[in-house]
């Protein structure tokens, strides 16, 4: 169930997407079919990514936000109530990763950006951070790859004004990594990185359907 502030943010993001960005979601059915804990893995091109992605999902999701955004009492209050989890981008704390794993075991949905930071130009960094591999291995939950297009033009990294431009979200199909998770012959670090890179490959493979 959405809390009050989450619902407010969800509604604002939906209106912004509709009237400012002609926002379209392809294969939304995959979101609706999510059952239990799911890792939603996306490319990262803009501050708009979390609210726009969240607006396409009927149930509340959790996501990372830069730790400094919680320093101000007002923004910290709002971010906390919108399910944001503070993280140090330069050195993510193991406690945050454990918190994510616990949320997944509680059957929550969590949005993660495997690249770790926003792209400057919309081009994906295929060398993903291994943290998402650890989360997959420890939680044993499926990964739903998604890819957002156009948000880097709507509000690019370093930009301060919204630009009216189309934004599209392509949702893939869930991936189960049990084969890698249960591979005892593979080293832990190698396993985490391989899972992370395979997730990035799945995101990169998503394209806007030709109509």
The phi and psi torsions of 87 (rounded to 5 degrees) equal -140, 140
Q: Is residue 39 scored above 90 in pLDDT?
A: yes
Q: Is residue 98 scored above 80 in pLDDT?
A: yes
Q: Is residue 205 scored above 90 in pLDDT?
A: yes
Q: Which of 134, 73, 114 is nearest to 200 (CA)?
A: 114
Pick from 8-17, 90-99, 193-202: least confident: 90-99
Which DSSP string do the residues of 166-196 spell out, in sequence order?
--EEEE---B--HHHHT-TTS-HHHHHHHHH
Which DSSP string do the residues of 70-124 spell out, in sequence order?
GSSHHHHHHHHHTTEEEE-SSS--HHHHHHHHHHHHTT-EEEE-TTSS--SSS--
Strands 143-149 and 168-171: antiparallel
Q: How confident is the model at residue 92 (pLDDT cuts 50, 70, 90)?
A: low
Q: Which of 135, 120, 124 is nearest to 87 (CA)?
A: 135
Q: How confident is the model at residue 86 (pLDDT cuts 50, 70, 90)?
A: confident
pLDDT at 90: 65
Q: How far apart are CA 104 and CA 110, in angstroms?
A: 7
Q: How far apart are CA 43 and CA 204, in angstroms?
A: 8
């Amino acid at each position: 169930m959405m809390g009050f502030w989450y619902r407010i943010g969800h509604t604002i993001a939906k209106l912004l997407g509709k009237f400012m960005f002609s926002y379209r979601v392809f294969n939304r059915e995959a979101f609706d079919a999510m059952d239990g804990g799911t890792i939603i893995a996306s490319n990262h091109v803009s501050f708009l990514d979390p609210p726009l992605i969240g607006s396409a999902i009927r149930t509340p999701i959790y996501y990372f936000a830069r730790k400094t955004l919680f320093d101000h009492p007002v923004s910290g209050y709002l971010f906390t109530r919108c399910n944001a989890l503070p993280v140090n981008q330069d050195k993510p704390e193991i406690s945050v990763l454990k918190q994510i794993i616990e949320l997944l075991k509680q059957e929550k949905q969590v949005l993660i950006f495997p690249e770790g930071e926003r792209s400057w130009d919309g081009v994906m960094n295929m060398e993903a951070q291994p943290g998402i591999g650890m989360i997959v291995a420890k939680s044993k939950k499926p990964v739903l790859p998604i890819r957002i297009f156009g948000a880097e033009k709507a509000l690019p990294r370093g930009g301060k004004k919204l630009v009216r431009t189309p934004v599209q979200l392509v949702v893939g199909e869930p991936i189960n990594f049990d084969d890698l998770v249960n591979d005892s012959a593979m080293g832990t670090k190698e396993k985490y990185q391989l899972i992370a890179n395979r997730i990035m490959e799945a995101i990169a493979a998503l394209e806007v359907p030709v109509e």
